Structure 1
Amino acid sequence: MTTQNSFINNNSETLPINVMGDSFNHNHQMIVILDFGSQYSELIARRIRETHVYSEVMSYQTDIKKICELNPKGIIFSGGPNSVYSDFSPQCDRKIWDLGIPILGICYGMQLMVQQLGGQVEKAKYGEYGKALLRIDDPTDLFTNLEDGSIMWMSHGDSSTKLPEGFSILAHTENTPCAAIANHDKKLFGVQFHPEVVHSVGGIAIIRNFVYHICGCEPTWTTKAFVDETIDGIRKKVKDRKVLLALSGGVDSSTLAFLLHQAIGDNLTCMFIDQGFMRKGEPERLVSIFSKQFHIPVEYVDARERFIKKLEGIVDPEEKRHLIGHEFIQVFEEESQRLGPFDYLAQGTLYPDVIESADTNINSSTGERVAVKIKSHHNVGGLPKNLRFKLVEPLRKLFKDEVRRVGQSIGLPEEIVRRHPFPGPGLAIRIIGEVTAERLNILRDADFIVRDEISKQGVYHDFWQAFAVLLPIRSVGVMGDKRTYSHPIVLRFITSEDGMTADWAKVPYELLEIISNRIVNEVEAVNRIVYDITSKPPGTIEWE
């Protein structure tokens, strides 16, 4: 069955996750992804959803009974940084192979399949990293309609040297004889490469073949059903109790505000905390749009001096994030007592926020972390354990593009729906080192010029994000025959599909020149502009 309101390309029905962000509605089809420490596990989930099938990431330690309760149509094992033959490498419950559920192992996941089922994995004579030419030996199942010689992305130092009984080779590369394997009878498949990354040509076709042809899923993941079921779920969960929303003005919290307002009306209170780290003119614009245009009251709280004072002398990025997150909660606690009482705190937390903040996949034998935390997010890592509010996080299992489609479907203004992502800590983490009022003013003016020019040139939506970063150093320059000693501004323009990976944008020199000239001429204390040409990975999108 199809509809005109899809998460991905407007041609399928959907069913949503639990309104509190706990899990998917177990009555509907899904693919479970077991995470063995890969930073791309969420990207696998993203690719599954591009096929219009819901997917959810869980730890490899998830009890097999819980997996069975979900009744998944298929299971995917992620990659990971470990070697399956090393001591304390992450292992799954061996009973999983006898469930009769189709399984696809990716990289480490394939090697684990080989090892646990009686094959052998060894350190490869030559590692294989980057692009590799895939030669297809069996053009059925996983490789149906896939062109022989397609480029796939490799990242491994181990290889399968002996296959388990009943397995055959589906594809190979020059350095990897077992690049893809299968036990067709048991519907067990493995690929040594990473079909989830954009560098793998035809990777999404392989995933689609697994989801549709092997698992027998149907495309049932749409925006309309998400909205309907989420609103209904909010009403059932919250009932007549009060909800306080942490409104930031971004697409996440704004979409949540619209959903909550449709669900509970006046039982919603939107509170905007102006912490002093917003971009130029944004606090005023936000209050005007919600209060005047859509008649959703917003409680404005001016806490600028309080937050800046809290960050005096702080230079560590993680400490900044945790202090800002803690202060957010303190302000909400205080203001809620004035306006409340409130039973729930609503947040626009997304899937990428959760995965980048979580200390996930702790090895139960060694206590070592399998996946490494990249950075904490103020609405995830900064929450205290004794939080007085119950959390409402209906968007917690959605990716950014899915949230945008939800926002569009419920009438959110285009300027908010397509607004570039902006971090919760705001400009505080785009100032490297200590945050001061002076540095905020410098960065705020430079950032405005960036946004103003790309809007004038009609290229705002060509970028996932485009912003300025202020460095806490000074360099020598000359202006008007006089020596200057001022700050540099870093320009960061990136392209991305979902924020999990990103590439630096190839911006025309003419545009960079215009922006550079405007900043050095219009912003005091800046005499040098540089451009960041780092992708994610190895860098992150934000500098802190």
Structure 2
Amino acid sequence: MPETKSIETASAVPATAPDGILVVDLGAQYAQLIARRVREANVWSEIAPPSLALETAARMNLKGIVLSGGPASVYASDAPQIPTELLELGVPVLGICYGMQWMTQTLGGEVLPANAREFGRTSIAVAEPEALFRGLDGHTVVWMSHGDQVAELPEGFRTYATSENCPFAAVGDPERGFFGIQFHPEVTHTVRGREVIDNFIHAVCGAKDDWSPDSIVDAQVARVREQVGEHGEVVLGLSGGVDSSVAAVILHKAIGDRLHCIFVDNGLLRKGERQVVETLFGEHFQMDLTVVDAGAKFLAELAGVTDPERKRKIIGHEFVEVFREEAKRFKQANFLGQGTLYPDVIESIAAHGGSTDVIKSHHNVGGLPDDLEMELIEPLRELFKDEVRAIGRQLGLASVVVDRQPFPGPGLAVRIVGEITPENVRLLQEADAIVTSEIEAVGADEGLWQYFAVLLPVKSVGVMGDARTYESCCALRVVQSEDAMTADWAYLPQELLQRISNRIINEVRGINRVVLDISSKPPATIEWE
């Protein structure tokens, strides 16, 4: 390995900074997933678009760089402009898919359209079980998604793995620490992808295991205190979910009674949700909690709206307006606290100014008006859900909160496909309560990421008591996932499915049919809207 090229602001890196891996986002939907895999290996990671990559590298205790995949072609006019100086910093570089193609072309190789594109699960043959493939030999299944491929290697590179249609499925120059893989090790569909990433982080980069989610708490508490100051006050939108709950505890730990939690009953909550929040945070944690009954206002604004994005924008706007009104009671409340997470950001906007395609907006990052009069404070913005859960446990939050299944900020609005009416809300609340209670009663929730009901905008004919019915249809959505970036549908025991279906049809007047959603993410999303 050559000596590390000096970076102008390297002196700004704290001596206590953990070893870090920089993930350069080249437009991949899964850049955050790469970063998460690095953190799972107890190594810190940060994400930056190409324009901020060198700046981000300069403030890290940099041990390696990962160039993500992306939708562009390296020979296209709109291809991402990546600073070549990244290859001169003296640290190992791993290029994934597009990242591999850019690196090999930049170093003198050639990239061309593939004769046979590869999408989905593919078997590769490991030619050299060393470096990235230490401990792997023979054949292994990986996830491919590419239309271009490397046609000629740069000087110094050799082949580490091949597939039937891709002669350079994995390549590398071990002398310089440069490696490229055409497949995606970050997704769960790549059977031994974690080992490949772990080998890069530890065997190639030599990074130490000196980071864990627990180490975030003290840093975030200090950051909140600095941002808010000695007299500032924060208004936090508390939903009762794990994200806002952990954010609330961190903020309360940092500023105490200067945190004012506001729970907005928007009329789109799960059955019994309001009572749970009032008891847990108002009575148990004894936080300053205000409950706002705004259901009628939200439903009035949503009347006749069927477009999912409009729903989210309206709900986000109404949340902020409620906060503004409530904040008037607190003269120093110039800050709006939120439990925004990394997945919220990547699915709403191009993360950190990157080029990732927008999939959907979230109320807490995509629906804020331009004239917001409060400064945002988001202590969880750089974290994934599993990291937030780990922090919650460290902070002493009960399992009923920490292990609760995720619930979208817009609530049941994104689980009612089509128009939102009081009757549709009632139907879904009742059906969803049955789904949740039945699954949890038999312990079938263990290993599940989310399990809920969806109200569909269709009616169908049924027969009840020898009479014809024409009523609504309910879908069951049950998925397994580690981070919500990808998810597989889960099949519950037939007896349990039968019991759920029977109860919904018998007990929820207005629903006469129950169907099962067996779609994975991708290509579907977990939520229906």
TM class, shorter-length: over 0.9
Contact residue 26 and residue 70 of structure 1 kept, 8 A? no
Q: What SS does structure 1 have at the residue aligned with 2:523?
A: coil
CA distance in 2, matches of 1:147, 1:254: 45
Per the alignment, in what secondary structure is the counterpart of residue 257 of structure 2? helix
Q: Which 10-residue stretch deviates more, 405-414 or 316-325?
A: 405-414
Match of 2:415 in 1: 430
User: What TM-score, normalized to structure 2?
Assistant: 0.94
Q: CA 1:69 to 1:260, structure 2 compared with 1: closer, same or farther past 3 Å?
A: closer
1:267 to 2:258 alignment: yes
The correspondence for 2:221, drawn from 231, 248, 253, is 231
1:4 alignment partner in structure 2:
none
Task: Indicate the residue corresponding to 2:463 in structure 1.
Answer: 478
Following superposition, which runs of at least 4 residues in structure 1 exceed 6 angstroms of deviation? Answer: 23-26
Cα displacement (A) at 1:63: 5.2
| Structure 1 residue aligned with 2:246 | 255
Question: Any residues of structure 2 matched to 1:131-280 within 5 Å, and which?
Answer: 131-240=121-230, 241-280=232-271
TM-score (norm 1): 0.92
User: Could you tell me which amino acid in structure 2 is paired with residue 222 of structure 1?
Assistant: S
Number of residue pairs matched by the alignment: 516
Could you say what the CA RMSD is over the residues aligned between the two structures, in angstroms? 1.7
* Deviation sequence 1:500-534 (CA, Å, 0-9, x none): 00011111111111000000100011000001000
Q: CA deviation at 1:359?
A: 3.7
Of 458, 464, 467, the residue aligned with 2:452 is 467
- Cα 1:449–1:340 shift into 2, 3 Å: farther
Cα shift readout 1:413-447 (whole Å, capped 9, x = no counterpart): 11111111000000011111111111100100000
Give the percent of matched residue pairs that are identical in Structure 1 and Structure 2. Answer: 50
Query: 2:18 touches 2:211 (CA, 8 Å); kept in 1?
Result: no
Tell me if structure 1 keeps the 8 A contact 2:48–2:56.
no
Structure 1: distance between partners of 2:351 and 2:253: 35
Q: Is the 8 A contact 1:36 1:361 kept in 2?
A: no
- Per-residue CA distance 1:439-458 (angstroms, 9 max, x = gap): 10010000000111011111
User: Which sits farther off after the overlay, 263-272 or 59-68?
Assistant: 59-68
Q: State which of 318, 321, 334 in structure 2 corresponds to 1:330.
A: 321
Amino acid at match of 2:279: S
Find the counterpart in structure 2 of residue 20 from structure 1.
none
Residues 27 and 69 of structure 2 are in contact (CA less than 8 Å); yes or no, is this contact kept in structure 1? yes
Q: C-alpha distance in 2, partners of 1:482/1:297?
A: 53
Say if 1:135 and 1:149, in contact at 8 Å, map to a contact too. yes
Aligned pairs (5 A) from 1:523-542: 523-542=508-527
**Shift of the alpha carbon at 1:303?**
0.5
Residue 53 (1) aligns with residue 27 (2): no
Corresponding residue SS for 2:271: coil
CA contact (8 A) 1:135 1:148 kept: yes
TM-fit CA distance, 1:139: 2.0
Q: Are residues 543 and 153 of structure 1, via their aligned partners in 2, closer, same or farther at CA, if it must alter by over 3 Å?
A: same
1:386-465 correspondence runs (5 A): 386-465=371-450
How far apart, CA to CA, are the structure 2 residues paired with 1:222 and 1:360? 22
Equivalence for 2:298: 307
Is the 8 Å Cα contact of residues 43 and 212 (structure 2) preserved in structure 1? Answer: no
Q: Any conservation in 2 of the 1:351–1:399 contact (CA below 8 Å)? A: yes
- Relative to structure 1, is the Cα distance of residues 361 and 267 closer, same or farther in structure 2, using a 3 angstrom cutoff? closer
Q: Is the 8 A contact 1:35 1:361 kept in 2?
A: no
Q: Which residue of 1 aligns with 2:26?
A: 36
Seen in structure 2, the aligned counterparts of structure 1 residues 537 and 161 have a Cα distance that, compared at 3 Å, is same
Counterparts of 1:91-110 in structure 2 under 5 Å?
A: 91-110=81-100
Provide the residue aligned with 2:7 in structure 1.
none
Alignment of 1:502-521 (within 5 A): 502-521=487-506
For 1:438 and 1:42, locate their aligned partners in 2 and report how far apart those are by CA, in whole Å: 39
- Give the aligned residue type for 1:120: E
Q: How does 1:272-291 map to 2 (within 5 A)?
A: 272-291=263-282
Q: Structure 2: which amino acid aligns with 1:34?
A: V
Give CA deviations for 1:13-50 in whole Å, capped at 9, x if unaligned.
xxxxxxxxxx9999332111111111111111111111
Kept after mapping to 2: 8 A contact 1:171/1:181? yes
Q: CA offset at residue 69 of structure 1?
A: 3.5
The aligned residue for residue 366 of structure 1 is none
Q: Structure 1: state its 5+ residue gaps.
A: 1-22, 364-369
The secondary structure found in structure 1 opposite 2:19 is coil
Residue 311 of structure 2 is matched in structure 1 by: 320
Q: Which amino acid aligns with 1:508?
A: P
1:200, 1:479 → 2: CA distance? 48
Tell me the amino acid that sits aligned with residue 385 of structure 1: D
In 2, the alpha carbon distance for the partners of 1:254 and 1:55 equals 25
In the TM superposition, what whole-angstrom CA distance separates every residue of 1:369-399 from its partner, at most 9, and x where no partner exists? x532110000000112221111111100110
Q: CA deviation at 1:360?
A: 5.3
CA contact (8 A) 2:346 2:356 kept: no
